[in-house]
Structure 1
Amino acid sequence: MDDAAVLKRRGYIMGINLGEGSYAKVKSAYSERLKFNVAVKIIDRKKAPTDFLEKFLPREIEILAMLNHRSIVKTYEIFETSDGKVYIVMELGVQGDLLEFIKTRGALQEDDARKKFHQLSSAIKYCHDLDVVHRDLKCENLLLDKDFNIKLSDFGFSKRCLRDESGRLILSKTFCGSAAYAAPEVLQGIPYQPKVYDIWSLGVILYIMVCGSMPYDDSNIKKMLRIQKEHRVNFPRSKHLTGECKDLIYRMLQPDVNRRLHIDEILSHCWVQPKARGLSSAAIKEGESSRSIDPQWTPEPGSDKKSATKLEPREEARAEARHETRPETKPEEDTVQVARQSETLGFSSEQMIRESEEGPPQQPPETHT
């Protein structure tokens, strides 16, 4: 029985194809019971790799069944057919994803970014309080509903955190997610705290929201790591960001895992609180930099400058990245994904050198309000 017939028997009228990968695809469908459109993720067990079937898929199904938060994509139904196909019926992000939104409209104004980032952070706090980590936070996985509210999706890399006998979280050892959003400790293959990894990815997302570009040039992972470990964060002067916003991003993009913010600290930060923003927007003066701009932002001689940060349509690759649950990969295996991600957003590398100012904010980094 084909997918349309299977879905019809369950009360869904299949619509258009939303994305397709090597062993999973996503279709739109109209639910006769719910009376609105949904997204249906269809996974073919016969085509999926063993590690996905034994580890990632069971985790994803378990976690999706337990989540219930207004800023997380709702899961309405999960069922499997005798021929080995799994159907996950989910809330549809009718306005697309945040990456497409920013590519179309440019960087968000801080008030809009604050609202969306607060929604996302609330969803992450909900997950972390349940000891669930996402581990693949990126703009492609943030869907937008009809009112452009954030809906966190794609829990294919998520897991329940394990604790030792003393109650401490056990470190994770596997690289997963997209290199452009991955924390330095993950890229280096160091055992990492998965909740702390999520926080770094939140920092990258907020930077993209307000700057419309990537915080780091990820076309060369070794160079990117060096800049990250020196705690360098360059902000485009042209965006005129407030000091509070830069301060929050800088503290999330903290290479020292013991000093990186926790989710509760993010939600209580003065920039996230709409009525209590305390830092002066002049905390970082225009054009002022604590260090010189790092020369590694310059493209390699003879390289295609467009490949660094220029927005280009990547329909087939983007559909697979958004909708297919992928097995975990080692950093050295991620070169194709890194190259693709580095082309998704922002200014050219030359513009980033010419138009950037560097953190840290002059407000002491350890002060929280």
Structure 2
Amino acid sequence: MDDAAVLKRRGYIMGINLGEGSYAKVKSAYSERLKFNVAVKIIDRKKAPTDFLEKFLPREIEILAMLNHRSIIKTYEIFETSDGKVYIVMELGVQGDLLEFIKTRGALQEDDARKKFHQLSSAVKYCHDLDVVHRDLKCENLLLDKDFNIKLSDFGFSKRCLRDDSGRLTLSKTFCGSAAYAAPEVLQGIPYQPKVYDIWSLGVILYIMVCGSMPYDDSNIKKMLRIQKEHRVNFPRSKHLTGECKDLIYRMLQPDVTRRLHIDEILSHCWVQPKARGLSSAAINKEGESSRAAEPPWASEPSSDKKSTTKLEPREEAQPEPRAEPSPEEEAAMVQVSQQSEAVGLPGEQPSKTEEGAPPQPSETQA
């Protein structure tokens, strides 16, 4: 029985193809019971790799069944047929994904970015409070409903965190996700704290929201990793971002995992909280990681009105101090994550030089 016939028997009228991979595809369908359109993810067990069938698919199904949050794509039904096909019926993101939205319309204004980022952060907090980690947070996995609200989707790399005898979360060793959104510890092949990994990805997403470009150029993973480990974040001057917004991004893109923000700290940050906005940069310096710096620790690139927000070309960066070459293990992990990454469709934005006093202070540099 073909997919259309299977879905028809379950009360769904199959529509157009929304996406297709080697062993899974996503179709739109009209639900006769719900009276609106849905998305149906169809997985063919006969074509799927063993690792996916034994590890990732069971995790995804278990987690989807337990999630219920207004900013997470709803799962209406999961069923399987005798010929080995799994059907996951989900809420449809009728306005597409955030990446396409930004590529079409350019960077978001801070007020719009704040609303969407708060929705996303609330969804991530909900997951983290359940000890669920996403591990593949990226703009392509943020769908938009009819009112352009964020809906977190695709829990294919998600898992429930385990705890040791003392109650502490155990480290993860599976290196998954897209290189452009991956934290330095993942790129290096270091066992990582998955909740802290999610925070780095949130920082990349917020940067893309307000800048319309990638914070790092992932065409050279080794070079990108070196810049990340130096805690260098460069913002386009043309976007006129507030100090509070830059501060939040800078503190999420913190290479030192012991100093990276937690999800509760993100939600309580002055940029995210409407009542707390308008604090002076001095107040940020007092509370933030740049307390010993005379200038903010991030860099701004030279303004260029001739560049399109989504067609910016990567530019040569300031030369960092010499760094030790990565070990063979780190090289292997970089290649692995790079191979798993997908084309993100937005260019990196690396300035030709940084502002005077803009690089992080020695105490901020992560070797």
TM-score normalized by the length of structure 2: 0.82
Shift of 1:280: 3.0
Which residue of 2 is the match for residue 75 of structure 1?
Answer: 75
Describe the shift of the 1:307–1:186 C-alpha distance in structure 2 as closer, same or farther (beyond 3 A): farther
Query: Structure 1 CA distance, aligned partners of 2:149 and 2:322?
Result: 21
Query: Structure 2 CA distance, aligned partners of 1:255 and 1:202?
Result: 14
Query: Structure 1 CA distance, aligned partners of 2:297 and 2:290?
Result: 16
Describe the shift of the 1:70–1:294 C-alpha distance in structure 2 as closer, same or farther (beyond 3 A): same
Shift of 1:164: 0.3
Query: Structure 1 CA distance, aligned partners of 2:327 and 2:88?
Result: 16
- The CA RMSD measured in Å over matched residues stands at 8.3
Secondary structure of the equivalent of 1:309?
Answer: coil
Residues 261-270 or 335-344, more deviating: 335-344
Which residue of 1 is the match for residue 318 of structure 2?
Answer: 317
Query: Structure 2 CA distance, aligned partners of 1:9 and 1:315?
Result: 57
Query: Structure 2 CA distance, aligned partners of 1:288 and 1:236?
Result: 21
- Residues 111-148 of structure 1: CA distance to partner in whole angstroms, max 9, x if unpaired? 00000000000000000000000000000000000000
Residues 164-173 or 276-285, more deviating: 276-285
Shift of 1:171: 0.2
Contact 1:286–1:357 (8 Å) recurs in 2: no
Describe the shift of the 1:315–1:9 C-alpha distance in structure 2 as closer, same or farther (beyond 3 A): farther
List runs of 5+ in structure 2 lacking aligned partners: none
Contact 1:96–1:143 (8 Å) recurs in 2: yes
Describe the shift of the 1:259–1:131 C-alpha distance in structure 2 as closer, same or farther (beyond 3 A): same
List runs of 5+ in structure 1 lacking aligned partners: none
Query: Structure 1 CA distance, aligned partners of 2:313 and 2:160?
Result: 36
Secondary structure of the equivalent of 2:104?
Answer: helix
Which residue of 2 is the match for residue 350 of structure 1?
Answer: 349
Contact 1:23–1:47 (8 Å) recurs in 2: yes
Contact 1:21–1:320 (8 Å) recurs in 2: no
Q: Is 2:285 aligned against 1:287? A: no
Contact 1:24–1:43 (8 Å) recurs in 2: yes
Describe the shift of the 1:304–1:245 C-alpha distance in structure 2 as closer, same or farther (beyond 3 A): closer
Shift of 1:176: 0.3
Moved over 4 A (4+): 281-328, 332-351, 355-369
Query: Structure 2 CA distance, aligned partners of 1:137 and 1:157?
Result: 10
Shift of 1:67: 0.1
Shift of 1:274: 1.1
Which residue of 1 is the match for residue 161 of structure 2?
Answer: 161
- Residues 280-323 of structure 1: CA distance to partner in whole angstroms, max 9, x if unpaired? 36999999999999999999999999999848999999999999
Contact 1:179–1:334 (8 Å) recurs in 2: no
Describe the shift of the 1:325–1:116 C-alpha distance in structure 2 as closer, same or farther (beyond 3 A): farther
**Identity, % of aligned positions:** 90
Contact 1:289–1:357 (8 Å) recurs in 2: no
Describe the shift of the 1:91–1:213 C-alpha distance in structure 2 as closer, same or farther (beyond 3 A): same
- Residues 228-284 of structure 1: CA distance to partner in whole angstroms, max 9, x if unpaired? 001000000000000000000000000000000000000000000012114336999
Query: Structure 2 CA distance, aligned partners of 1:280 and 1:20?
Result: 49
Query: Where do 1:1-369 residues align within 5 Å?
Result: 1-280=1-280, 310=311
Residues 204-213 or 272-281, more deviating: 272-281
Query: Structure 2 CA distance, aligned partners of 1:130 and 1:85?
Result: 29
- Residues 144-187 of structure 1: CA distance to partner in whole angstroms, max 9, x if unpaired? 00000000000000000000000000000111000100000010
Describe the shift of the 1:349–1:140 C-alpha distance in structure 2 as closer, same or farther (beyond 3 A): closer
Shift of 1:63: 0.0
Describe the shift of the 1:271–1:226 C-alpha distance in structure 2 as closer, same or farther (beyond 3 A): same
Describe the shift of the 1:282–1:324 C-alpha distance in structure 2 as closer, same or farther (beyond 3 A): closer
Describe the shift of the 1:293–1:210 C-alpha distance in structure 2 as closer, same or farther (beyond 3 A): farther
